[in-house]
Structure 1
Amino acid sequence: MSASLFAIGTFSASGAPFPGLVVGDRVLELPGGTVRTLLDDWERTLPRLVELAGSATGWQPLEGLNVHAPVEPRQVFQSGANYRRHVIDLVVAHREPDDPRSEEQARADAAEMMDRRAAEDLPYVFTGLPSAITGPYDDVVLPSWAAKPDWELELAAVIGREAYQVSREDALDHVAGYTIANDLTAREAVFRRDMPEIGSDWLRSKNAPGFTPVGPYIVPAGFVDDPSDLRLTLSLNGEVKQDESSKDMIFDVARLVSYISGFARLLPGDLVLTGSPAGNGMHWGRLLRDGDVMESTITGLGTQRTRCVAEGAA
């Protein structure tokens, strides 16, 4: 994309939130409703944004504005077990106390499973609730019932053109841009102890209000050279916990979008979360607590910073 680098987001001052064009430390308020409205007509919106990014008037300082989640999606699709090293770490961390395998054997078994999944070409995707989304600088309330709240930094693709049964080769044509998501998980609620045969319980484990901080902005896809070669870094209280390349993904963005579109209709503004790299709290033996501060960055997409607050103390 031949243009000044820009992003789009949702902001407010003292009034209602508005869509804004971000260039450096300046914001230009955009007419026409919401960021999702812009994404609904992305093919015509994008050239206009390129023009506006070079305009000289109407800008206001970014400093002092409230930054909200950049878009309110209709649907949220979440990819699980999509980073090789992350899944191996989780298999080891979630071993039952009576598991007879050594750590080395558990890692070898998980690695074999990852190889098999890649060969079978079957991503693992589930749906999340838009009500779990919060802004990139908002406090994250840790529910009183969540005994093991964990972080999961993820690259999120933002849909800009309806997609249904699209090929992998055409899938990225339906992506408007990318943003940052932290897909928090209550680890103790992932697996149903009362009936393990029914599998994972994503409703309880991932959809508490505010459990998915998103943003700060949406960076157009044309400014992201290769979504499969980005660095994801999350720090907890200043200490790096996740630091990985999206090269470690088993299924890339194009494959995920294509796969999801084979079963569901992706709509403009929808989010596709692409999985989390190694370095979660379960790996470190350190889960989230009241007062913790998470800072997350992805190459070219900015930084989000959120503070954890125990329910009742917010």
Structure 2
Amino acid sequence: MSDIEFKLGTFSNGGGAAFVGLVIGEKIYTLSQIVEAYGRKGPTTTAGIQEMLDDWGANFDALCAVADFVANDGRPDSDWGGVATLSDLKALPPILRPPKMIYAAANYGGHIREMLAAGTAQNDEERDNMLDRDKARVRPYSFLKSPSALVGAFDDIVIPPESQKVDWEVELALAIGRTAKRVPAERALNYVAGYMTTNDVTARDAQARPDWPTLRTDWFTGKSHDTFAPMGPYFVPKAFVPDYRTIQLTLKVNGETKQDDPAGEMVFSAEEQIEHASAQIALHPGDIISTGTPEGVGHGKGTYLKAGDVVEAEAAGLGAQRCQVVAEDI
């Protein structure tokens, strides 16, 4: 592993083509250019983070060597031909086209309690079931979110005209780096390539379907609108995250802190979520699992996003997002 900690990101410059950036400190190096300068065996591809995840073990080792080379070569930045800072570039979702995105529902105790207080349960039995987190009885609850909902960390969140209750949910996302099927929890982190900040934006009033009362929650309509998955700005390799449970998840709306809890307060750990998901379907490199949101969503207090709001979300150490909320132009 490299002595130099680095991040990866996917960026564009002036509307140009997307490229992978190697991020060391505040400097963003165009990966293809520094690999060419390196002149030795580099990653199998620099086309995209998704493509590098297809052979992540070898490619991570190669990236470590490249990062050491950049940090220790002693050249001035001008010699690299592609050095920038985040403010110079447009941040795109680190993984542009993940095969699938699996999200955890009701995975923090405080969030479960606030949703119950907001009237999520329709009767006492449902309330008791939601509060029961006995793992001998209860399995993780997951849903699929469309990858087309992805946007970059500084892109707009667009409120659809059908919804008056669009909400925020800061989350820790992980990316799979090896094909996984029926992986036990104790080995699950061996299949994780890295982590990202994300915001599981949700249209609460679209989740409830009074026209289909017996079918209950509409995850597709509530979760998969365009722009409802700001991701990034960075992809941080797992090797540089000693313990994901210590990552602090924070979210602010117009400067006011709404969410502020460590990832370690999950009910079902990232390992247990991988075990559960891989028992249903094979996980492949580039798949994203978003691990749930802590207490502090707007629905708990009946407050929601509106055009003009600014949402700042961060999983500490993975990069901060800042998204403007706008109404859909129809």
Normalization by structure 2: what TM-score?
0.88
Selected match of 1:71 from 85, 89, 95:
95
Q: Any conservation in 1 of the 2:172–2:198 contact (CA below 8 Å)?
A: yes
- Give the CA deviation at 1:145: 0.8
Listed one character per residue, the Cα deviations across residues 255-302 of structure 1 (whole Å, up to 9, x for unaligned) are 101110011111111110001100000123210000100111112111
Q: Any conservation in 2 of the 1:84–1:111 contact (CA below 8 Å)?
A: no
Residue 61, structure 1, aligned to residue 62, structure 2: no
Task: Write the letter of the residue equivalent to 1:71.
Answer: I
Q: Any conservation in 2 of the 1:36–1:71 contact (CA below 8 Å)?
A: yes
Residue 94, structure 1, aligned to residue 95, structure 2: no
- Give the CA deviation at 1:116: 3.7
Distance in 2 between the 1:67 and 1:51 partners? Answer: 25
- Give the CA deviation at 1:197: 2.0
State the partner residue of 1:47: 61
- In the TM superposition, 1:13-162 aligns within 5 A as 13-14=13-14, 15-31=16-32, 32-54=46-68, 55=70, 56=73, 58=80, 59-62=82-85, 63-72=87-96, 73-94=98-119, 110=127, 113-162=130-179
State the partner residue of 1:269: 286
Listed one character per residue, the Cα deviations across residues 89-114 of structure 1 (whole Å, up to 9, x for unaligned) are 00111258xx798xxxx9xx857733
> How many pairs were matched up?
305
Selected match of 1:183 from 200, 208, 211:
200
Distance in 2 between the 1:195 and 1:111 partners? Answer: 24
Task: Write the letter of the residue equivalent to 1:26.
Answer: K
Distance in 2 between the 1:144 and 1:235 partners? Answer: 24
State the partner residue of 2:5: 5
Distance in 2 between the 1:310 and 1:302 partners? Answer: 26
Distance in 1 between the 2:319 and 2:329 partners? Answer: 31
Q: Greater CA deviation, 299-308 or 192-201?
A: 192-201
Listed one character per residue, the Cα deviations across residues 105-159 of structure 1 (whole Å, up to 9, x for unaligned) are x9xx857733344332400011110000000000111111111000011000111
Cα RMSD, aligned residues only = 1.9
- Give the CA deviation at 1:204: 0.6
- In the TM superposition, 1:194-273 aligns within 5 A as 194-273=211-290
Distance in 2 between the 1:299 and 1:222 partners? Answer: 16
Task: Write the letter of the residue equivalent to 2:28.
Answer: V
- Give the CA deviation at 1:52: 1.5
Distance in 1 between the 2:123 and 2:140 partners? Answer: 29
Local SS of the residue matching 1:120? coil
Distance in 1 between the 2:233 and 2:56 partners? Answer: 19
- Give the CA deviation at 1:20: 1.3
Distance in 1 between the 2:258 and 2:176 partners? Answer: 29
Local SS of the residue matching 2:178? coil
Distance in 1 between the 2:144 and 2:123 partners? Answer: 34
Selected match of 1:166 from 175, 183, 202:
183
Distance in 2 between the 1:256 and 1:228 partners? Answer: 14
Task: Write the letter of the residue equivalent to 1:88.
Answer: R
> Per the alignment, do residues 95 and 212 of structure 1 end up closer, same or farther by CA in structure 2, a change over 3 Å counting?
closer
Q: Any conservation in 2 of the 1:166–1:258 contact (CA below 8 Å)?
A: yes
Listed one character per residue, the Cα deviations across residues 21-74 of structure 1 (whole Å, up to 9, x for unaligned) are 111111222233111011111011101111121214525022311111111211
> Per the alignment, do residues 11 and 100 of structure 1 end up closer, same or farther by CA in structure 2, a change over 3 Å counting?
closer
Distance in 2 between the 1:87 and 1:202 partners? Answer: 17
Task: Give 4+ residue runs of structure 1 displaced > 4 Å after superposition.
Answer: 109-112
- Give the CA deviation at 1:17: 0.4
- Give the CA deviation at 1:3: 2.1
What residue ranges of structure 1 are gaps of 5+ in the alignment? none
User: Kindly, what percent of the aligned residue pairs are identical?
Assistant: 39
> Per the alignment, do residues 242 and 259 of structure 1 end up closer, same or farther by CA in structure 2, a change over 3 Å counting?
same
Normalization by structure 1: what TM-score?
0.92
